[in-house]
Amino acid sequence: MSETPTVETHAFQAETRQVLHLMIHSLYSNKEIFLRELVSNASDALDRLRFTAIADDSIYEGDSDLRIEIEADEEAGTLTIRDNGIGMSRDDVMENIGTIARSGTRAFLDRLSGDEKMDAHLIGQFGVGFYSSFIVADKVTVLTRKAGEAAESGVRWESDGGGEYSLEPVDKETHGTEVILHLKADENEFLNSWTLKSLVSRYSDHIGFPIRMPEEVTSGEAEKGEEADTRVEWKDVNKASALWTLPKSEISDEEYQSFYKYLSHDLDDAMCWAHNKVEGSQSYTTLLYIPETAPMDLMLQRDERTGLRLYVNRVFIMDAAQQLLPHYLRFVRGVVDSDDLPLNVSRELLQENELSGKIRSAVIRRSLDMIGKVAKDDAEQYEKFWNQFGAVIKEGVVEDFSNRDRITPLLRFASTKGDGAKHVVDLAGYIERMPEGQEAIYYITAENHQAAANSPHLEVFRKKGIEVLLMSDRVDEWMMAYFTEFDGKPFKSVAKGDINLASIGKEEAKDEEAEEAKDESALDADLLKKIGESLGDHVSEVRSSQRLTDSASCLVLGDQEMALHLQRLLEQAGQDVPDSRPVLELNPTHPLVEKLAGEEDQQAFGDLSLVLFEQALLSEGASLEDPAGFVRRVNSLLLEK
């Protein structure tokens, strides 16, 4: 270290600057959350120190009374949040405080709209953290020193929240971190000890460490002319008992919610939670939350997941979301506290350990039960949940076979029944509505809801009043490759394979319409062959359709083939797609098809065949190889007398 400590100035990363600016503006109406965020950081630092001390308690440097102190200085206009936790080295400070290290920052910024209300909400999902200090402070000073290092290795960081921050080495006797907020002139309310206490009890009552504030204590009466004997004592202002260790009956909903916010950094309430204690030969407690809105990291890679904190005997060990939560429940937040895992449990051990396997199963079961309960009790709330997390839950159908029976009743789909729009149905309800003779659960997958809802494949189903599930999430086609039946009923794509609806709704089938349909002669085999030859490699076969009532043509795949929209997606992503050619189905009663049957001119026959094929492609949402050619062909048809 140099003899004369120098102050260095660094510029914030561009993204950090942007987030900072936004945060200050859009979170103003929630400004008091800065205290929760700083206390939460302090508590994490204490957790980490305690964890390090398991292996070597000399890291405490003789001070194992872990605590957070909040101190206001009215004269200076400063508010200090101090911890004797793990502290930060110079590199830590540069990495953690000079940048916004979270993954997805860019994606987050791209989603911002400029509408303050919506952006505030997004920032809440993103997690605000340390930078929320700048909502109330026009300058922030951080003094920190890593536990176990020399006093001279302390660091002083300072910034006014503009484009830069300064760094300077300092001597710091005690390890841990002190965040000093130089409050803006009109934020003096945060110097008031009553205000501070009530914020602590609202936001941080049940973190596992004491939060202390100084209080003047007067002992003995002041004699006339003499000064009273006053001294400052540090008093606990929170309950400091980890929330999950309390009996459920002693915890209010409000306390559960504030603990959730402390855990998740979410600005919104949790949708629901489940708190369970298992006692016996192996004891553990789980407190699990389902957020109301999807956190920013929902689409993160498998090894980046966080959100489930593992404690052993009240000591925070690590974030074990990867070990204890399956990928499809990555939005679950919470705490697991085991009395029986070893304190030095490693990630590897967690992976193999029998007890952690049990805990993992319990976490999955409880999470799914909790979601199932909302589904059962509160359809409106559940629909909101489904819109946020449905696509993620669907991954579970494929990934977690052993819990499939718990997951599949949670699924919701748009359907052709009901009010048309995005009517949401569940599978049991679908089966209940099936008419006599219907054996399969019919569905269609498409690129988006509109394409699914308007697909020509649905025509005969609509006509016969048979419900079809409309699937347009990206995961749907993948899920359906593995999800072959529900409650003994097989799934059947209306766009794949043969469709035979003759035996459905036998009663009604007697009516004239159905009889008539039967009589409608299929297209002549020679004609079909001729169309097939004219289309060459485009199709594998041309046949008469049972599916179409209004449209002239549609494309059909084999039962095992991948939907065309998914094939296109994979091709665009540069992946190999198995070569498959669709079947072209033609509606024998459609005037264009009738015209084709009577067409004698070779050229016109070829053009019309191609137009029918191209129309089928277009209604699949595909783009044409030769759009200009298509336009020409259609125009010449339009202009024909």
Q: Where on the chain is the footprint of ligand ADP (CB under 6 A)?
A: 37, 41-42, 45, 83, 85-88, 96-97, 127, 129-131, 177, 265
Instruction: Say how many CA atoms lie within 13 Å of 604 toward its Cβ.
Output: 15
Q: What are phi and psi of 331, to 5 degrees?
A: -90, -5
In the complex, minimum distance from the CB of residue 74 to ligand ADP, in angstroms, rounded to a whole number: 24
Our CB check for ligand ADP shows the closer of 264 and 415 to be 264
**What's the min distance (Å) between Cβ of 248 and ligand ADP?**
28
Tally helices (H) and strands (E) across the chain.
Answer: 24, 23
Which one, 84 or 258, has the nearer CB to ligand ADP?
A: 84
Q: In whole angstroms, how close is the CB of 81 to ligand ADP at the nearest point?
A: 8
Please, which residue, 262 or 382, has the CB nearer to ligand ADP?
262
CA dist., res. 44 & res. 306, Å (int):
14
Nearest to 376 by CA among 419, 415, 332, 406: 406
Calpha distance 340→313 (Å, rounded)? 8
Nearer to ligand ADP, 295 or 456 (CB): 295
Q: Are 136 and 121 in contact (CB under 8 A)?
A: no
The 10 Å Cβ neighbour count of residue 634 is 14
Tokens standing for residue 264 = 């998740």
Which CA distances in Å does 104 have to 111, 184, 214, 295, 377?
11, 31, 40, 11, 35
How many CA atoms does the CB half-sphere of 555 hold within 13 Å?
A: 26
- Read off the tokens for 30: 């929630």
Report, in Å, the least distance between residue 250 CB and ligand ADP: 29
Query: Given the complex with ligand ADP, which of 147 and 499 has the nearer CB atom?
Result: 147
- To ligand ADP, the closest distance from the beta carbon of 125 in angstroms equals 12
User: Residue 40 Cβ, how far from ligand ADP at the closest point, in Å?
Assistant: 7
Between 87 and 505, whose beta carbon lies closer to ligand ADP? 87
Q: How far is the CB of 51 from ligand ADP (least distance, A)?
A: 13
| Closest CA relative to residue 38, chosen from 155, 177, 162, 234 | 177
With tokens 């696509």, the residue in question is 391
d(CA 233, CA 229): 13
State which residue, 37 or 459, has the beta carbon closest to ligand ADP: 37
Q: Which is nearer to ligand ADP, 143 or 444 (CB)?
A: 143
Amino acid at 239: K
Closest separation in Å from C-beta 42 to ligand ADP = 5
The answer to whether the CB of 213 falls within 8 A of the CB of 69 is yes
- Residue number closest to ligand ADP, CB atom: 129
Q: Which CB, 128 or 617, lies closer to ligand ADP? A: 128
d(CA 563, CA 575): 15
CA 541 centroid distance within chain: 43
Strand pairing partners for 232? 216
Cβ proximity to ligand ADP, 265 vs 412, nearer residue: 265
**Minimum CB–partner distance for residue 131 and ligand ADP (Å):** 6
Q: What are phi and psi of 312, to 5 degrees?
A: -120, 120
d(CA 13, CA 606): 61
Which of residues 35 and 427 has its CB atom nearest to ligand ADP in the complex? 35
The nearest distance, CB 167 to ligand ADP, in angstroms, is: 14
> Which residue, 277, 280, 278, 273, is CA-closest to 259?
273
**Which residue lies nearer to ligand ADP by CB, 45 or 392?**
45
> Which amino acid, one-letter code, is at 609?
S
**Measured on CA atoms in the order 471, 477, 479, 484, is the torsion positive or negative?**
positive
Helical H runs in 29-113? 33-55, 90-96, 105-111
Minimum Å gap between C-beta 229 and ligand ADP is 35
CB of residue 23 vs ligand ADP: minimum separation in angstroms? 11
